[in-house]
Structure 1
Amino acid sequence: MRVLAGIGDEAGPGLAEQVAAVTGLGWSAIELRTVAGTAVADLPDPLFDEVAGTLAELGLRTVCVDSRIGDWSTVITGDFGRDLEELRVLARRCPRLGTRYVRVMSYPNDGLHDDEWEHRALRRMRELALRAEQADLVLLHENCAGWAGSDPARALRMLEEADSPALRLLFDTGNGLAYGYSATEQLAEVVEHVAHVHVKDGVPTPMGPQWTIPGEGDADVRGCLDLLAAHGYQGALSIEPHLSLRPHESGGRGSVEGFTAAGRALEALLATADR
């Protein structure tokens, strides 16, 4: 059976809203990014214990924890020690949540020459993968911010350089709208290495993407799902609608209604694909 999930804070900041949205869809899996506006690694121990306990009590599986490691909030010249510490904390917390998967990116540039950016990014990703492997975690690099974010050749080079089972790829169907590439064309080049999928859709505008429910935009979500199925993809499909919450921007909060609409749209796409 397909595992359907969603990034909880897309439904609302509080854990109650997040689990209500997921269970309201009849799903048994969630992806965690923040709770009460705080990243999983930064949650005080009592609050994390509450999160882990609530999910266990409800029988909700955590498919992935979305870290800030290498993402759009940092740069390649930033403090690598902060990322290593976040990974150390998640190495302790992920087993409590029942997941080995941690979302990462590969560091936006900070004015460095491309060769130096490449050298530093690959060095960091090798070190992160080594530490993840030692901690029995798997890092999932998203096609978003960073050196390997929007170039499949770089993503494959990064995997080759790390040479570790602890580094795989996360493919987001909507990120091509923001970074200017075809989702299906990029996915075709890396699909064999994809271990997790985010589902979102939208249409390009001069001000950036306007996000829609899956299947109503220009990201060719159906094409991505068909391509994944053709290659025997067995991982989770996790919605990240961005209909109300856009993590790259300040302000905004999730919406249970938007989350639910996106989830039902994904189910409809899958149902028609199976006919």
Structure 2
Amino acid sequence: MSALRKGGRARHRRANRTPVARRPAIRFGGIGDEAAPDLAGQIDALEQLGWSELELRTVDGVWIADLDHRQVKAIATTLKRHGIRVSGLASRVGNWASDITGDLTADVMELGRLSSRAEVLGTNRIRIMSYPNGTGLPEAEWRRLALERMRFFAIGAQRGNEVALHENCAGWGGSSIENTLDLMASVDNSGLRLLHDTGNGVPYGYDGFELLRRSIEHVDHVHIKDAVGGGEHTRYVLPGEGEARLAESLRLLTAHGWRGGWSLEPHLATRPHEGLAADGRTDSGFVAAGRALTALVEREVLPHSPGWRLVPGGLAWEAPLPRQAGQAARAAEAAEVASDAR
């Protein structure tokens, strides 16, 4: 075949490639038990919204770490049949029910169980927090112990090709912007990244947008919620109706060219730290919150986010990428394809 004919065929193939709007670069999903206790109800809520990404915390009221392998395999099979990928697993490590002086053995065992379940479910991301100080230790000692534990978990995650996602919620690292930045600088390990919850600044008394602005390079995953009030008077509302500067935070992410999952956690019916759980009915508010998020994105995010547009399941980036960013984007997309194939 002549060079001319080869070149002509190559140009023909390039001209007939599917344009780049394809898979979402930012994927919409949610924490399943915010919608319903059972897996069928969680899937139904996602399908009503046209989303295909699920973050697993509990199923039928049982934490993922406490389900046996047979149950986890059944969940994985069901989700694959519905075309739903798992974005991550929630642990109880360092959360509101723990204390910085507690025995670490149970947490190590839980992370071990979650590691094996994550492999079955096709994810490598596990949510942790950095321990409340219920016993009233001095701030410096609380910090020392929290960092010691976070370094330990980060090393374990890195060795297992996993990522421990620290959420700005209960615990030392989530109690202020400065502590979050201190945490990431002090641990300095790729096994530890941030899960940014857009609404948690309201109950904890700091500006969530400012936290995101200062820590965005460390953020691998996002929880979407909105709230009003503060402290014990916090009340959770539909996305866009609160004081969390949610639209500004989402615009910051799109302007940064950020990629990953926006996982809906509206807390309208389900608030584990208060012992409240959705019962699967429509008034759990999950679907309404998902629709409010989409409306907020259309109304207040996309008009200020050139190059982005809504596609089924999230947002696609269609503008040309700089060479280095394009390489990173293609690598991330290839990893997602490989994950979906498992």
Question: What TM-score does the superposition give when structure 2 sets the normalisation length?
Answer: 0.77
CA shift, 1:256, in A, is: 5.1
What is the alpha-carbon distance in structure 2 between the residues aligned to residue 184 and residue 162 of structure 1?
A: 23
Q: How does 1:24-39 map to 2 (within 5 A)?
A: 24-39=48-63
What is the alpha-carbon distance in structure 1 between the residues aligned to residue 275 and residue 157 of structure 2?
A: 31
Instruction: Give the match for residue 265 of structure 1.
Output: 292
What is the alpha-carbon distance in structure 2 between the residues aligned to residue 180 and residue 18 of structure 1?
A: 31
Instruction: Give the match for residue 167 of structure 1.
Output: 192
Check if 1:69 corresponds to 2:93. yes
CA shift, 1:45, in A, is: 2.5
2:71 alignment partner, one of 21, 29, 47: 47
CA shift, 1:254, in A, is: 4.8
What whole-Å deviation, never above 9, does each CA across 1:214-271 have from its counterpart, x for those lacking one? 0011111101101111222111101101111111112442545311011111111222
Instruction: Give the match for residue 96 of structure 1.
Output: 120
Q: How does 1:147-162 map to 2 (within 5 A)?
A: 147-162=172-187
What is the alpha-carbon distance in structure 2 between the residues aligned to residue 127 and residue 161 of structure 1?
A: 12
Check if 1:232 corresponds to 2:257. yes
Contact 1:200–1:241 (Cα < 8 Å) also in 2: yes
Secondary structure, in 3 states, of the residue corresponding to 2:112?
Answer: helix
Instruction: Give the match for residue 302 of structure 2.
Output: 274
Greater displacement, 209-218 / 42-51: 42-51
Secondary structure, in 3 states, of the residue corresponding to 1:119?
Answer: helix
Instruction: Give the match for residue 338 of structure 2.
Output: none
Q: How does 1:1-275 map to 2 (within 5 A)?
A: 1=24, 2-109=26-133, 110-204=135-229, 207-255=232-280, 257=282, 258-272=285-299, 273-275=301-303
Q: Which amino acid aligns with 2:268?
A: L
Secondary structure, in 3 states, of the residue corresponding to 1:3?
Answer: strand
Identity of aligned residues (%): 47
What is the alpha-carbon distance in structure 2 between the residues aligned to residue 205 and residue 102 of structure 1?
A: 28
Contact 1:201–1:215 (Cα < 8 Å) also in 2: yes
Larger radius of gyration: 2
What whole-Å deviation, never above 9, does each CA across 1:157-177 have from its counterpart, x for those lacking one? 222222211101111111011
Please list every run of at least 4 consecutive aligned residues from structure 1 whose deviation after the TM superposition is greater than 3 angstroms. Answer: none
Q: Which amino acid aligns with 1:89?
A: R
Contact 1:244–1:255 (Cα < 8 Å) also in 2: no
What is the alpha-carbon distance in structure 2 between the residues aligned to residue 50 and residue 155 of structure 1?
A: 37
Secondary structure, in 3 states, of the residue corresponding to 1:248?
Answer: helix
Contact 2:34–2:277 (Cα < 8 Å) also in 1: no
Gaps of 5+ in 1: none
Contact 1:10–1:254 (Cα < 8 Å) also in 2: no
What is the alpha-carbon distance in structure 1 between the residues aligned to residue 190 and residue 264 of structure 2?
A: 25
What whole-Å deviation, never above 9, does each CA across 1:134-154 have from its counterpart, x for those lacking one? 111101111111111022222
Gaps of 5+ in 2: 1-23, 304-342
What is the alpha-carbon distance in structure 2 between the residues aligned to residue 167 and residue 267 of structure 1?
A: 30
Greater displacement, 107-116 / 34-43: 107-116
Q: Which amino acid aligns with 1:64?
A: G
Contact 1:21–1:256 (Cα < 8 Å) also in 2: no
Contact 1:104–1:142 (Cα < 8 Å) also in 2: yes
CA shift, 1:37, in A, is: 0.8
What whole-Å deviation, never above 9, does each CA across 1:38-88 have from its counterpart, x for those lacking one? 111111232222211111221211111111111111000112111111111
CA shift, 1:207, in A, is: 4.3
What is the alpha-carbon distance in structure 1 between the residues aligned to residue 42 and residue 80 of structure 2?
A: 14
What is the alpha-carbon distance in structure 1 between the residues aligned to residue 268 and residue 40 of structure 2?
A: 19
CA shift, 1:113, in A, is: 1.5
Aligned length: 275
* RMSD of Structure 2 on Structure 1 (CA): 1.4
